[in-house]
Structure 1
């Protein structure tokens, strides 16, 4: 895999480190590519990754060589999502795309020696950018994070010592003999 640079979030970096350790145990051919990706990566905190960077669970439009554009969600494991809509980072293409920026091209070499150029055309959705947008909107609306709403507050129910609470039921509360 050749690329000018790669920007990984701390989470994505940790996922790749675990993947590398597991793959080394089985002498997987993708180990060399994982080592190259991890050694050349710029690692940034999750909250400061650019919105045009491909991260795990990002929805990406990309082209392979001169072929038609494809849209996939970059996932950690193949089983997530409908068939054909996701691309695992356990594949050479998926691993190559992780950390790339919109407009960036990288070349990936397959086990059979075949090379293909991958161009990131667009990052349609990035979970980190979406999370930042929601937080900014919540702060602007002066709401609690993630749209949570306070239902009960013990502090608002505070009364000075010795003060009695008002009665909850003001109507007749005797159900009569039929309740027995």
Structure 2
């Protein structure tokens, strides 16, 4: 796959994703399948070697949905998600 783009994941995030997969995330089959694929294809990289525009868990991100104004959020696991405090769960599907 010479043209494939593989996800870059820090060792910390890889471990968090493995733990989420082991917990099976309830019955969300699509999320379980996405986690398996990400872990299978992931390239492990140290956080300091990532470009500044690559988000990891606990990163502050700027998120824009449709035509709404951009919002700053912290990327968190579903277990740490608190509505209304500027969090964005990694379990939220991307469009």
* CA RMSD, Structure 1 to Structure 2 (Å): 2.4
Unaligned runs of 5+ in 1: 93-107, 109-115, 117-180
Deviation at 1:58? 0.8
Residue matched to 1:49: 50
Deviation at 1:35? 1.1
Corresponding residue to 2:81 among 62, 71, 78: 78
Q: Distance in 2 between matches of 1:83 and 1:27?
A: 25
Q: Distance in 2 between matches of 1:63 and 1:38?
A: 26
**Shift in CA distance, 39/67, structure 1 to aligned 2, threshold 3 Å:** farther
Deviation at 1:55? 0.7
Confirm whether residue 10 of structure 1 aligns to residue 23 of structure 2.
no
Q: Distance in 1 between matches of 2:10 and 2:75?
A: 14
**Shift in CA distance, 5/62, structure 1 to aligned 2, threshold 3 Å:** farther
Residue matched to 1:67: 67
Question: What per-residue deviation string (whole Å, max 9, x for no partner) do you get for residues 100-148 of structure 1?
Answer: xxxxxxxx4xxxxxxx2xxxxxxxxxxxxxxxxxxxxxxxxxxxxxxxx
Q: Distance in 2 between matches of 1:39 and 1:63?
A: 29
| TM-score after normalising by structure 1 | 0.42
Q: Secondary structure at the match of 2:20?
A: helix
Q: Distance in 1 between matches of 2:35 and 2:11?
A: 15
50-59 vs 26-35, which moves further: 26-35
Q: Count residues with an aligned counterpart.
A: 88
Question: What per-residue deviation string (whole Å, max 9, x for no partner) do you get for residues 45-96 of structure 1?
Answer: 23322222101111111333x43323211012113xx71411122332xxxx
| TM-score after normalising by structure 2 | 0.73
Unaligned runs of 5+ in 2: none
